[in-house]
A and B are shown apart, each in its own frame.
Chain A
């Protein structure tokens, strides 16, 4: 009886999972399929392209516009991620380990930043950045990205730090480590999965952002890919750039996939098991 219900339950869940995955993946596959079609067959409504072509990819890499945007995107997202993760790690460690006056306020304010509607900040930021002369530059985007990614980083990381038993740090100190050595050799290796998870989340946030990127940039100097896609045009006014846009869309998902795959191996859950009885 019990076995039968579990196999049936498994089947039901399996089916549900398949539906969810298909639902999520079909649009992606559709875009990938469109990117391989010739402009003549673009609107034939077939899932599999009848004629395969790499023309669309050639087009986007031929234009300086897209390559430049790709470099901007990668550079800005990587720098913002690195800074946010380093600052977030230090802040989260302090929050989870120390009792200092104003701790609750700090956590509350960072939560407030995360909840603040970004759209209402766009105009003031535009003005401020123009005054400061960082409008349409890399720092002009990196700064707001760090601001909005930090609360996320602090929250994820402090959850990870709280899981690490405090006794380990005490043990390291008893074993002759300084505060710095205890952090570097005992705490940091254990917090690594948390750091990588946070890095992925922050990177995706920066990579996907459209709102800040379209308002705080005006030229190819700092325009990122999501915005650059909007400025795609065909070779002539009458040509539809759908194929090229689809190809670009496929290309910009690749770095994210690579980034996730690269760090995923380091996210080993349950790394702390065995430290303490439990």
Chain B
């Protein structure tokens, strides 16, 4: 077991593209860290560099305090689980799991004992004599995990290990991975493009975009206090709503009405080069049916009227979709996020608003509804840099803060 330190690690390919740029990351011993981001953000390349399957162009990688830049994968003593599982098809499950031990030249008895132990933990004992071809996807996935844990390496690297499973099994395996990691207490770096996996699994999450780290922190912190537009849009499902906001007369003109701003935001907007246009972000759960709220709560927010487009009842809540008139929020980050979700060319006129209202709300499709939203939970972003203006000493403080 060991800590992993990335010190200004970069990867440049011979054709001139930079896949990973100056990544600084300290992963503590026993920590479970998730690298997440849209495809092409450099998360897999980063993992491969830690593994030793890709060379490091510049920077330093230390595992357990020792520089390992020039060491072959086998000298780093770390195990990896691949997205494709990469089981050896000519070997049985037992042989697959014993392979790393046989290469380490352990004696037969120890090998058998270790394989049996690992098989027991992963409930593979009954399958030990089968070939990978005769296993289901979930079983293959478990064998791949077994091959990683069997030799008690310094660290586990997992490259989207669950993305080939169907949705139900994925949720189940998520808890298996989580429990296993806690049980073994081995440092783990886990790559995924699925923000739900990132939120649920890790001690800390690293969000990457275009080869650079955007923000590092515990899942809840990333959710509540996103440092920039990209992090805000990437974390959360359904994702944050973004609206265009024009700065005028000390207020923000938006499709939901004029939003008042507090002194702190005003000071930021006073400068000569301050942006005249902002992007306003609100999460779906910070909306509520105005009818259901008491006076005091209503004072902390703002209200608007809009026609209800679609109501999705989830039982515990209702997802209500509105279309509001007005200019759309535009920024490079938002386009990238839409492209990653596969919805780049799929949007009507105006802005779509997703809200999560109480199940008690009598809202119906087609009617006009009065909706309240919480001004303390609003984020304001600079469209040019993507920076979150409401963030103060790392905490989001809403638009009204003084």
A208 to chain B, nearest CB (A): 33
Q: At the interface, yes or no: A124 with Cβ under 8 Å from chain B?
A: no
Check A276 against B85 for contact (C-beta < 8 Å): yes
Q: Would A275 and B89 be within 8 Å (CB), given that A170-B53, A175-B103, A175-B147 are in contact?
A: yes
B152 to chain A, nearest CB (A): 13
Check A275 against B132 for contact (C-beta < 8 Å): yes
Name the one of A270, A273, A275, A277 contacting B88, with C-beta atoms under 8 angstroms. A275
| Measured CA separation A186–B87 after assembly (Å) | 10
Given contacts A174-B73, A190-B89, A190-B90, 17 further A-B contacts (CB under 8 A): A165-B86, A170-B51, A171-B87, A171-B88, A174-B53, A175-B79, A176-B100, A177-B74, A178-B74, A271-B89, A271-B90, A275-B84, A275-B85, A275-B132, A276-B85, A276-B87, A277-B140
Check B86 against A170 for contact (C-beta < 8 Å): yes
CB-based nearest A residue for B130: A274
CB-based nearest B residue for A190: B90
Q: At the interface, yes or no: B41 with Cβ under 8 Å from chain A?
A: no
| Measured CA separation A275–B82 after assembly (Å) | 11
User: Which 6 A/B pairs are nearest by Cβ-Cβ distance?
Assistant: A274-B133, A274-B132, A276-B84, A171-B86, A167-B86, A175-B100
CB-based nearest B residue for A276: B84
- What's the interface size class on B, roughly? 20 to 34
Supply 7 A–B pairs (Cβ within 8 Å), ascending by A.
A172-B88, A174-B53, A174-B78, A175-B99, A175-B100, A273-B89, A275-B85
Name the one of A168, A174, A177, A190 contacting B51, with C-beta atoms under 8 angstroms. A174
Check A176 against B80 for contact (C-beta < 8 Å): no
Q: At the interface, yes or no: A14 with Cβ under 8 Å from chain B?
A: no
- B residues 92-123 near A (Cβ < 8 Å) are 99-100, 103-104
Q: At the interface, yes or no: B72 with Cβ under 8 Å from chain A?
A: yes
Q: At the interface, yes or no: A173 with Cβ under 8 Å from chain B?
A: yes
With a cutoff of 8 Å between Cβ atoms, the chain A residues found around residue B135 in the complex are: 274
Q: At the interface, yes or no: A272 with Cβ under 8 Å from chain B?
A: yes
Q: At the interface, yes or no: A181 with Cβ under 8 Å from chain B?
A: yes
Q: At the interface, yes or no: B217 with Cβ under 8 Å from chain A?
A: no
Contact indicator per residue, chain A 249-278, by CB within 8 Å of chain B (1) or not (0): 000000000000000000000111111111
Q: At the interface, yes or no: B137 with Cβ under 8 Å from chain A?
A: yes
Contact indicator per residue, chain B 23-63, by CB within 8 Å of chain A (1) or not (0): 00000000000000000000000000001110000000000
CB-based nearest B residue for A189: B90
Q: At the interface, yes or no: B313 with Cβ under 8 Å from chain A?
A: no
CB-based nearest A residue for B88: A186
With a cutoff of 8 Å between Cβ atoms, the chain A residues found around residue B147 in the complex are: 171, 175
CB-based nearest A residue for B134: A274
With a cutoff of 8 Å between Cβ atoms, the chain B residues found around residue A177 in the complex are: 74, 103
Most chain A CB neighbours (cut-off 10 Å) among B88, B147, B164:
B88
Name the one of A165, A173, A274 contacting B74, with C-beta atoms under 8 angstroms. A173
Most chain A CB neighbours (cut-off 10 Å) among B51, B73, B132, B137:
B73
Q: Would A173 and B100 be within 8 Å (CB), given that A186-B88, A274-B135 are in contact?
A: no
Check B72 against A173 for contact (C-beta < 8 Å): yes
| Measured CA separation A175–B88 after assembly (Å) | 12
CB-based nearest B residue for A167: B86
**Interchain pairs with CB closer than 8 A, number:** 86
With a cutoff of 8 Å between Cβ atoms, the chain A residues found around residue B131 in the complex are: 274
With a cutoff of 8 Å between Cβ atoms, the chain B residues found around residue A276 in the complex are: 84-87
With a cutoff of 8 Å between Cβ atoms, the chain A residues found around residue B79 in the complex are: 174-175
Check B84 against A165 for contact (C-beta < 8 Å): yes
B79 to chain A, nearest CB (A): 6
Check B53 against A173 for contact (C-beta < 8 Å): yes
Contact indicator per residue, chain A 162-198, by CB within 8 Å of chain B (1) or not (0): 0001011011111111100100011001100000000
Name the one of B52, B53, B86 contacting A275, with C-beta atoms under 8 angstroms. B86
CB-based nearest A residue for B165: A277
Q: Would A176 and B87 be within 8 Å (CB), given that A170-B82, A277-B164 are in contact?
A: no
Check B133 against A273 for contact (C-beta < 8 Å): yes
With a cutoff of 8 Å between Cβ atoms, the chain A residues found around residue B104 in the complex are: 176
| Measured CA separation A222–B80 after assembly (Å) | 56
Name the one of B72, B80, B137 contacting A171, with C-beta atoms under 8 angstroms. B80
B165 to chain A, nearest CB (A): 9
With a cutoff of 8 Å between Cβ atoms, the chain B residues found around residue A275 in the complex are: 84-89, 132
With a cutoff of 8 Å between Cβ atoms, the chain A residues found around residue B103 in the complex are: 175-177, 181
A203 to chain B, nearest CB (A): 25
CB-based nearest B residue for A178: B74
Check B74 against A277 for contact (C-beta < 8 Å): no
Most chain B CB neighbours (cut-off 10 Å) among A172, A186, A274, A278:
A274
Most chain A CB neighbours (cut-off 10 Å) among B52, B83, B87:
B87
With a cutoff of 8 Å between Cβ atoms, the chain A residues found around residue B89 in the complex are: 190, 271-275
With a cutoff of 8 Å between Cβ atoms, the chain A residues found around residue B88 in the complex are: 168, 171-172, 186, 275
With a cutoff of 8 Å between Cβ atoms, the chain A residues found around residue B137 in the complex are: 277
B51 to chain A, nearest CB (A): 6
| Measured CA separation A278–B164 after assembly (Å) | 9
Check B140 against A274 for contact (C-beta < 8 Å): yes
| Measured CA separation A172–B87 after assembly (Å) | 9
CB-based nearest B residue for A175: B100
With a cutoff of 8 Å between Cβ atoms, the chain A residues found around residue B157 in the complex are: 174
| Measured CA separation A139–B147 after assembly (Å) | 49
With a cutoff of 8 Å between Cβ atoms, the chain B residues found around residue A165 in the complex are: 84, 86
| Measured CA separation A160–B90 after assembly (Å) | 15
| Measured CA separation A2–B111 after assembly (Å) | 55
| Measured CA separation A276–B132 after assembly (Å) | 9
With a cutoff of 8 Å between Cβ atoms, the chain A residues found around residue B87 in the complex are: 171, 274-276
With a cutoff of 8 Å between Cβ atoms, the chain B residues found around residue A178 in the complex are: 72, 74
CB-based nearest A residue for B78: A174
B241 to chain A, nearest CB (A): 36
| Measured CA separation A127–B86 after assembly (Å) | 53
CB-based nearest B residue for A179: B72
A204 to chain B, nearest CB (A): 27
| Measured CA separation A170–B81 after assembly (Å) | 10
CB-based nearest B residue for A168: B86
| Measured CA separation A273–B90 after assembly (Å) | 9
| Measured CA separation A190–B74 after assembly (Å) | 22
With a cutoff of 8 Å between Cβ atoms, the chain B residues found around residue A272 in the complex are: 89
With a cutoff of 8 Å between Cβ atoms, the chain A residues found around residue B164 in the complex are: 277
B149 to chain A, nearest CB (A): 12
